[in-house]
Amino acid sequence: MNGQKGQVVGYVRVSAADQNEARQLEALGEVDKLFSEKVSGKSREREQLKEMFAYVRTGDVLRVKSPDRLSRSTRDLLAMVEELRAKGVEVEFVDNPALNTDTPNGEFMLTILGAVAQLERSVARERQAEGIAIAKRNGVYDRPPALTAEQLFTARGHVERGGVPKAAIARELGVSRQTLYTALGGHGRYSGTEETSTI
């Protein structure tokens, strides 16, 4: 596919709903190294995918049947392609040659996909912000306190027994010191709770 000398590395993924690995293997043809796994494409936390990324080197070509075999997320797919290209690895999609990274057309298409993914993220953030604003106006949006009643009880126990710095208690509970102080003091959304210590 490209002029550089390297290996052709194949990646095959099937999910529980799609067991037909043979079709992908036939589409890939002969490869020097094959990585194959049966797992969902929703996450990048895939053993064979990680091994493939560790294996490929400059000059190699990664051959995949279609983009959704790498990822079902446009954002993740673009991130993977960019990561591979940064390593000097080209990507070949058998079913979608227009996305192959070693052609001007592929470069253009990936740029368009990146712009679309960015637009989708912007629209999603805007809709989320609008939804929160409307919910706040209607008095139905109220995030739960960072500390549960049980966690607050535990924190007060530590404070009463002494010997444990409040900073350490906050770290243990996964909150900021200010949140812990507010909770112990019974302020804000923690008002009405029993105050047991002087902050």
What residue segments make up the domains of the chain, in order of their start?
8-98, 149-190
Q: Of 172, 195, 192, which is closest to residue 184 (Cα–Cα)?
A: 195
Tokens of 46: 């895939």
Q: Do you know the residue count of the chain?
A: 199
CA distance 114 to 99: 12
Select from 43, 25, 1 the least CA-distant residue to 10: 25
Consecutive 10-residue averages of pLDDT for the chain (199 residues): 74 79 92 92 86 96 92 84 92 89 78 70 76 71 70 81 80 84 75 48
Instruction: Supply the pLDDT for residue 188.
Output: 67
What pLDDT does 109 receive? Answer: 77
pLDDT of residue 121: 66
Told to judge if 15 belongs to the known catalytic residues of this protein, a careful annotator would answer yes
pLDDT of residue 18: 56
Q: What b/e sequence results for 111-123 when a residue is b if at least 16 CB atoms lie within 10 Å of its CB, and e otherwise?
A: eebbeebeeeeee
Query: Exactly one of 15, 36, 66, 197 is catalytic; which is it?
Result: 15
- pLDDT (0 to 100) of residue 181: 82
Give the strands of the sheet with 61-64, arranged side by side.
33-38, 8-14, 61-64, 90-93
CATH 3.40.50.1390 fits 8-98, yes or no: yes
* pLDDT value at residue 139: 64
pLDDT score for 3 = 47
What pLDDT is attached to residue 61? 96
The closest alpha carbon to 41, from 77, 6, 7, 5, belongs to 77
Single-letter amino acid code for the residue at 155:
A
pLDDT at 13 (0 to 100): 92
Structure tokens that stand for 130 in this block: 């609008």
One-letter amino acid identity for 195?
Answer: E
